[in-house]
Amino acid sequence: MSQTIAQKILARAAGLKEVEVGQIVTPEPDWVMSHDNAAAISKTFKKIGVERVWNPEKIVIILDHVVPPSTPEYAQNHLDIRKFVEEQGIKYFHGLNAGICHQVMAERGHDLPGSLILGSDSHTPTAGAFNAFAAGIGRSEVAAIWATGHLWLRVPESFEIIVNGKMPKGVYAKDLALHIIGDIRADGANYMSVEFRGETISNMSIASRMVLTNLAAEMGAKTGIMDYDEKTEEYLKGRALKPYNPVRADEDAEYQKRREYDAEDLVPKIAFPHTVDNVHDIDEAEDIEIDQVFLGTCTNGRLEDLRVAASILKGKKVHPRVRMLVFPASWEVYMDAMKEGILETFIRAGALVMNPGCGPCLGAHEGVLAPGERCLSTANRNFKGRMGSKEAEIYLGSPATAAATAIKGKISDPREVI
């Protein structure tokens, strides 16, 4: 039987030779990841009645949503997590000095080709950029894995997205991702495994591939997966925590859906409030005044994203009406950007450089919006109330669009300033 990447990974993790679409399997994940919500998960785990987690070396906990804690309640939450980590002997715990969970999973060598990664965050599919089957699951499901080492999953249908052609000047992975979401809609890949391939994908950096797999969640996908290649291998040198086995789909693998795109036809894109699939070309968004620009998150807070924005901002000033917040995705990214002088460029331009973390992405702290304010964000969601007030508006765009917008005080085409 021909198999897709998703089928092969799930079969291996479940100890089976092959699996069929729609089959229920009970695989053991290679890693199960959680973040600040690990405190709530630990309480559920204790109710199950199991004293010890199934494997303390396969559990990863990363604090990132509210770091440092902004209230006594969040501080207690972090304290509960630290106590649980010590009590259970969990090997991979990353506290306040790591970064956003999905970036840290990659940097610290957890995102391995052919692996099964489950996490209590909806953007866990980010790890699919490394040829992994990575999916977001609920808190109670994570607690169940901590207790038993297994979780039942339905083998998903697969959706092949092929992109060829050279990306035009001023157009980036974020624009491609938004274009796809605008085309297939937010439910276009519901509970499917989206496999990205084509010459455009092959030519992308790992960081750009992570944008696409991250945003697979906004297509409704269970996971987004890339093929393994020399770029994957190069990134993992000196990082991979254990040996890995890349997976390729069989040539005659069956896909329920297939879409092809020509990258040369793309233009910068903007997702209008209040859904990610409300996507428009940049010329339909120009002149919308913005109060805050948010550069960062697990979608676009990597070094290449900061480089692009800094190259546009260098020697210029953020518009006096605009607050520009910069959140590197991790402390590794932060230090690399500092060494390159990128952070200085942001500071001299008038931006506020923050500690790595999720910050205002989920409306928790460090930059929430007031009623009536508008934000141009490089994040992955623009739902009503996502970043603070329900009366605020969030527009999504690329790091280049964010930088151009910060300078002009209104949504602006980055092709005009590059």
CB 21 within 8 A of CB 257: no
Give the pLDDT band of residue 96 (cuts 50, 70, 90): confident
Predicted pLDDT of residue 292: 97
Whether residue 359 is predicted with pLDDT greater than 90 in this model: the reply is no
What is the pLDDT at residue 221?
Answer: 97
Percent of residues, the chain, with pLDDT higher than 70: 100
Mean pLDDT value of segment 377-383: 95
Give me 136's structure tokens.
């977001």
> What does the pLDDT average to over 72-96?
95
Average pLDDT, stretch 380-394? 93
Can you give the pLDDT at residue 363? 84
Alpha-carbon distance values, 322 to 287, 330, 373, 389, 405 (Å): 14, 24, 11, 18, 9
Model pLDDT, residue 217: 97
pLDDT, average across residues 126-135: 98
List the structure tokens of 400.
Answer: 């280049």
Q: Please give the backbone phi and psi of residue 295, each rounded to the nearest 5 degrees, phi first.
A: -110, 120
Contact 253, 6 (CB under 8 A): no
Residue 320's CB is within 10 A of a number of other CB atoms, namely: 7
Q: What is the pLDDT of residue 123?
A: 97
pLDDT of 361 higher than 90: no
Asked if pLDDT for residue 173 goes beyond 90, the answer is yes
Average pLDDT of the segment spanning 309-321: 97
For a pLDDT cut of 90, what percent of the chain falls above it?
96
Residue 362 pLDDT level (bands cut at 50, 70, 90): confident
Measured CA to CA, the distance from residue 398 to residue 404 in angstroms comes to 10
Cβ-contact 221, 189 below 8 angstroms: yes
Domains of the chain in start order, with CATH, are: 5-239+256-261 (3.30.499.10), 269-416 (3.30.499.10)
pLDDT digits (tens, 9 = 90+) for 183-233: 999 999 999 999 999 999 999 999 999 999 999 999 999 999 999 999 999
Instruction: Convert the pLDDT of each residue in 16-51 to its tens digit.
Output: 999 999 999 999 999 999 999 999 999 999 999 999
Supply 241's token pair.
């925590």
Mean pLDDT of 90-103: 95
Quick one: pLDDT at residue 339? Answer: 98
Using the structure block, give the residue that is written with the tokens 């036809």.
265
Which residues are paired to 279 by β-bridges?
271
Q: What's the pLDDT score for residue 15?
A: 97
